[in-house]
A and B are shown apart, each in its own frame.
Chain A
Amino acid sequence: EIVMTQSPATLSVSPGERATLSCRASQSVSSNLAWYQQKPGQAPRLLIYGASTRATGIPARFSGSGSGTEFTLTISSLQSEDFAVYYCQQYNKGYTFGQGTKLEIK
């Protein structure tokens, strides 16, 4: 099974600043990587697929990069509604999620 490791577990950032979240795969997943946002009591929401393609309706402040085993989600200027838990997911071989990064207000 491909193991996905996210870092950090918790990230404290002020509104208006940039947030950078990392995701590492235990083996290459090519560009078969998605990012999701989840708020309390809600289902996850697809942000990015194919490592860098924004899903429909996702604001341009969200961007994804990377390939192989190292991936990054960047939120360029944090809005209040962006504070949530973020998960990466590989779909190169089966499907596995990272353990999540909680993005909290500093």
Chain B
Amino acid sequence: QVQLVQSGAEVKKPGASVKVSCKASGYTFTSYGISWVRQAPGQGLEWMGWISAYNGNTNYAQKLQDRVTMTTDTSTSTAYMELRSLRSDDTAVYYCARNLYCSSTSCYENGFDYWGQGTLVTVSS
């Protein structure tokens, strides 16, 4: 069965960086992309960006593009999201989610069909 398992909770000081991992199993990792979505306490969902597990292409949300880097390691089927220069308003649960299936000829977007369990990142002095 498809699973996305994320790394554990983090506590960081303002100005620091955090790197969250998302290990995929149960499907061909390179056939899909991974999106990252965050949710501040009591708030809605915010899409942060997407990475192709096939070729590493990325697409970041404009408001985060100067501070976020997404990468993948195909040898371990793991995606990573690093956020730098953390601020208090970066405190949130961070989710990875599978999306955008690509065959050899076409890509198909059918929503974010599998999600990780979430990683709480707390930014506090």
Contact = CB atoms under 8 A, between A and B. Distances in A.
Interface of A: 1, 32, 34, 36, 38, 43-46, 48-50, 53, 55-56, 87, 89, 91, 94-100
Contacts of B44: 87, 97-100
Contacts of B32: none
A16 B50 CA distance: 39
B78 to A, nearest CB: 18
Q: Chain B contact residues: over half helix, strand or loop, or mixed? A: loop
Interface stretch (B13-21, B67-75, B82-90, B107-115): B107-115
B46 interface: yes
A17 B110 CA distance: 29
Interface string B48-74: 001000000001011000000000000
Given A43-B95, A95-B47, A95-B50, A34 B117 contact: no
B107 to A, nearest CB: 12
Nearest to B116: A43
B54 to A, nearest CB: 18
Nearest to B61: A94
Contacts of B113: 46, 49, 55-56
Contacts of B115: 43-45
Contacts of B118: 43
B115 to A, nearest CB: 4
A53 B117 CA distance: 25
B122 interface: no
Contact of A43 (B109, B110, B117): B117
Contact of A94 (B47, B110, B111, B117): B47
7 interchain residue pairs of minimum CB distance: A49-B111, A34-B111, A43-B115, A95-B47, A97-B45, A46-B111, A49-B110
Contacts of B50: 95
B47 A44 contact: no
A97 B46 contact: yes
A87 B45 contact: yes
Contacts of A99: 44
A44 B109 contact: no
B116 A44 contact: no
Contacts of A49: 109-111, 113
